[in-house]
Chains A and B, each alone.
Chain A
Amino acid sequence: MTALAGGLLAQGALATLAVLVAVSARGRARNLLAGVACAALSAAGAVSGALALSGATVTLRMATALPGAELVLAPDRLGGLLMLLVGSVGFLASVYAIGYVHGASASRTQWAALALFLLGMQLVPAAGDVVAFLLAWELMAAASTVLVLAEQAHRPAARQAAVWYAVMTHLSFVLLLAGFAALSATGGTTSFAGLAGTDAARPGATAAFVLLVVGFAAKAGVAPLHVWLPRAHPEAPSHASALMSAAMVSLGAYGILLVGIRLLPGGPTWWSVLLTALGAGSAVHGILHAGVATDLKRLLAYSTSENLGLVVAAIGLTMLLRTHHVPGAAGAALVAALLLLVSHAAFKSTLFLGAGAVLRATGERDLDRMGGLAHAMPWTAATFGVGSLGAAALPVTGGFVAEWTLLQALIHGVRPADRVVAVVVPLTLGLIALTAGLALVTFVKAFGIAFLARARSVTALAATEAPPSMRAAMVLGAVGVLALGVLPGPVAAAAASAIGVDGVRVAGLGGVELTGVGAVLSPAALVGLGAVVALPALALVLVVARRRPATTDVLGWGCGGVRTSPRMQYNATSYAEPVMRIFDDALQPRRDVVVTHVGESAYLAERVRFAQHHDDVVEVRLYRPLVAAADALADRARRVQNGSVNRYLAFSFTALVVVLLVVVA
């Protein structure tokens, strides 16, 4: 038995162990033991993934109760990369959960669901055939639905979120089932190895592609199928949000990679344009809503929609550039897609874990009621800050390297002679630049309003730092974000070899060189250079500052006064006001201003109440009519179902007679 096979089997054994421990242990022991078992399960996944990524192969066949149907686990190198990613995020989330869970989220159900969720996610990229893939997928979907409800099942909002999530996730499953059925019928087999490189011109291939892409896009949270994200993430326990947002959605992107690159390569141009448009649209839509969101976890959820949009756009561009014979840029775009996935997993898990620490300390998700947390929670503030740098794609983080690679691919992919490329690529470039700018605004807001300035509420004032296990997970995540940014070369080279792209080399000290487009980035060298320049300057400033007498701060433009109330500070709503005004038409906010006057005076106000709401336009225009139609249909169905036993029996009787007659005829 090879090490990889052992790793795969160990995951099954550890998941069983974790479920048993979760069910049998009590109190604090359950949190510790189940948390350690889940962490071991994820570590086994990460190690198996690393083995598969480094080129180890194995084919595990498991007989099922059904004759002729067997489950095949055969991770390839790309699957290994994803398994490594999921396992690493799972490890962080499990360690974090030991200190985080409390009340309802420390229940047996939560821990058992967490173990199954981790197992499902780690087996999805290991699947070697359609049956195993769908089974693991459904395990992941069902367990994550339980996790959405694990913390606050008593809240109507959480129940509603769970219903939305369950509907969307099963809609996605149905589409995948239909898509894989069509694909298997076209290719004549259910194994991925047999289906690889299916001719896209064969009948059924287009239907399979569209069904699969829509199904995977729903899981990846790509607009307009993202509606479950901003609902489910705020309600789920934070470690589950981190898992769903950093790991699970990545599997949606993995699905799109699987279909677009491996199973059905060489499709017509409109396939790639569709993917690019979906991705770029989702990126802009997601970051716009994240920019004006005041609920911290909702903001992160929309940012996930944005990042996965970038990934899907990169995959679409790869397909487009490959069909239009621009191989260098196509390879760079594909590597960018993988780097985006990896860096997104790193910074988004760090951010969600940080948001969970804030939520645990203050009970608040509303940015407008936070503030000043950097003093009370220095570890959380530092790690969240690093995560924000990553999400804003600023240098020395993984996010920067990924977006740099994508922009390199786009800039070097422009071909004025080819009409489609000449239109699509520059447009996408513009949209991605807009996204990058808005991401900066969004995460300056998220970090600045939550952690800097003064506390805006009593609970924020009383916050205390998170316990050690949570701190450890957040620090590990932040280190990951920085490592991906400082030493991107090995990661990029591994990603490139995983997806079969040549043209990526390690340059200098952990730098990355894209030989296909002739671009080099060496962050470690830049950091060294920066240090050489900045450290003496910093030392000089410190020395000078020590010599000067202490100064008293006065308020700029304060006319000698001070802002006595913390409510006079900028808050998340006011910071996002310019964005809200510029994109007024797209966001369509509703504002209520209620002025209470002093006595009869029309000029003196006693108090002014301001409230601002904005709905997701996609939801209002697309989903509300759909939901209303479904409700109307269900009402009709209710008339058939009147509660009479006789009527129900009559239904089955009629069915029996009809089946008998059909069988004979």
Chain B
Amino acid sequence: MTVVGEAHLMSTPGSAATQLIALAAGALLVTSVLMVWRRELSAQVRLLTVQGVSLAVLAVTIGLSGPASARAELLVVAALVLALRAWLLPWVVGRRLRAGVEAGDAAREDGARLNPTASLVVVALLATVAYLVSRPISEAVAAGSGAAVSGPAAFAVPVGVCMVLIGFLLLVGRRRAMSQLIGFLVLDNGIATVAFLTAAGVPFAVELGVSSDVLLVVLILAVLSRRIHAQVGSTTLDSMTELRD
């Protein structure tokens, strides 16, 4: 890692757009880390909302700083992101969570496979890995090669990669079905972040397709978790080990 490369990546720290992107990326990273730390499921849903808003801010900023021709489409995409990731998905998850608590399910993620301290250490390691592995992408984006044209957004790419890894960590470490769902949403937010940052905004058709996919997955998993609860009396996945061979 050379100092010259660092300076190049942070080339225009002054502009308002870059500041906003940095803020949104920071919020995304912090909310992800907090999700690893918190055990309260309702708190995690609130964090998911914050993450959705941050992602929408990121989309709006990239849309406004991009070329005028694509501005309208990117603003529609940002509105879609806001509606889906900041409102609809957290609402579906939250509703299912409240229904679960009323039916006698615990509101906390108990017995996760990693304790909070250990998970935070792992997160730190994952963040390092994310920064290491996204250097080539960042450099390509900053140089404006290929399809990537959003120079100022390049420095935030590692945040997206880091979110993907953190989402995966949540999937691996947690036992409750709802926690799995939240982990999946973090992972998907990470993918969306990387997409926005590297492709200078995502075409409307692509974002619509991805969004409807995610919505379907969440709805199916929400229904599934209710069925699991009805079948085995809790929503931990430990008792579901019969499907093998």
Contacts and interface: CB of A to CB of B under 8 A. Distances in A.
B36 to A, nearest CB: 14
B113 A643 contact: no
Interface stretch (A352-360, A374-382, A424-432, A646-654): A646-654
A638 interface: yes
Contacts of B113: 646
B133 A643 contact: no
B136 A664 contact: yes
A607 to B, nearest CB: 46
A646 B165 contact: no
B132 A664 contact: yes
A644 B238 contact: yes
A660 interface: yes
A646 B168 contact: no
A645 B165 contact: no
B116 to A, nearest CB: 17
Interface stretch (B3-11, B40-48, B170-178): B170-178
Contacts of A643: 240-244
A646 B245 contact: no
Given A649-B168, A650-B172, A644 B237 contact: yes
A550 interface: no
A148 B171 CA distance: 43
Interface residues of B, number: 24
A653 B180 CA distance: 14
A650 B174 CA distance: 11
Contacts of A663: 133
Contacts of A661: 129, 132-133
A644 B242 CA distance: 9
A459 interface: no
Contacts of A650: 172
B48 to A, nearest CB: 19
Q: Tell me the dominant secondary structure on chain B's binding face.
A: helix
A596 interface: no
Interface string B146-179: 0000000000000000000100110111110000
B2 to A, nearest CB: 15
B129 A657 contact: yes
A254 B158 CA distance: 56
A201 interface: no
Contacts of B136: 664
Contact of A645 (B135, B168, B240, B245): B240
B168 A653 contact: yes
A641 interface: yes
A540 interface: no
A653 B135 contact: no
Contacts of B171: 646, 649, 653
A656 interface: yes
A362 B222 CA distance: 58
A642 interface: yes
A657 B130 CA distance: 9
A644 B132 CA distance: 31
Contacts of A652: 168
A649 B129 CA distance: 19
B129 A660 contact: yes
A656 B168 contact: yes
A643 to B, nearest CB: 3
A536 B238 CA distance: 90
A642 B172 CA distance: 15
Contacts of B168: 649, 652-653, 656
A664 B133 contact: yes
Contacts of A638: 244-245
Interface string A623-665: 0000000000000001001111110011011001100110110
Q: Which of B129, B172, B237, B238 has the most CB of A within 10 A?
A: B172
Contacts of A653: 168-169, 171-172
Contacts of B180: 645
Contacts of B165: 656-657
A74 to B, nearest CB: 39
A645 B129 contact: no
Interface in A18-55: none
Contacts of B238: 644
A664 B129 CA distance: 10
A661 B238 CA distance: 31
B111 to A, nearest CB: 11
Nearest to B165: A657
A664 B174 CA distance: 29
A642 B129 contact: no
B237 A646 contact: yes
Interface in B229-245: 237-238, 240-245
Nearest to A642: B241
Contacts of A641: 244-245
Which among B165, B168, B180 has the highest number of chain A CB atoms within 10 Å? B168
B207 to A, nearest CB: 24
Nearest to B174: A646
Nearest to A643: B241
A653 to B, nearest CB: 5
Interface in A559-592: none
A68 B20 CA distance: 45
Interface in B106-125: 113
A644 B236 CA distance: 11
A661 B242 CA distance: 34
Interface in B201-245: 237-238, 240-245
B158 to A, nearest CB: 12
B177 to A, nearest CB: 9
A653 B164 CA distance: 10
A646 B171 CA distance: 7
Nearest to A634: B245
A657 B168 CA distance: 10
Given A653-B169, A656-B168, A642 B244 contact: yes
B173 A646 contact: yes
A644 B172 contact: no
Contacts of A660: 129, 133
Contacts of A646: 113, 171-175, 237
Given A663-B133, A664-B133, A644 B241 contact: yes
A630 to B, nearest CB: 15
Nearest to B168: A653
Given A653-B171, A663-B133, A664-B135, A645 B237 contact: yes
Contacts of B240: 643, 645
A638 B245 CA distance: 7
Nearest to A651: B172
A644 B173 CA distance: 12
A453 B120 CA distance: 87
A327 B164 CA distance: 69
Nearest to B171: A649
Residue with the greatest number of chain A CB neighbours at <10 A, chosen from B126, B133, B175, B243: B133
A653 B114 CA distance: 15
A80 to B, nearest CB: 47
Contacts of B173: 646
Contacts of B175: 646
Contacts of A649: 168, 171-172
A517 to B, nearest CB: 60
A362 B140 CA distance: 75
Contacts of B245: 638, 641
Most buried by B among A638, A652, A664: A664
A638 B237 CA distance: 19
Contacts of A644: 237-238, 241
19 contacts: A638-B245, A641-B244, A642-B244, A643-B242, A643-B244, A645-B180, A645-B240, A646-B113, A649-B168, A649-B171, A649-B172, A650-B172, A653-B168, A656-B168, A657-B165, A660-B129, A664-B132, A664-B133, A664-B135
The list of the 3 closest CB pairs from A to B, nearest first, reads A643-B241, A643-B244, A660-B133
Given A644-B241, A656-B168, A664-B135, 15 more contacts: A642-B241, A643-B242, A645-B240, A646-B113, A646-B171, A646-B175, A646-B237, A649-B168, A649-B172, A653-B171, A657-B126, A660-B129, A660-B133, A661-B133, A664-B132
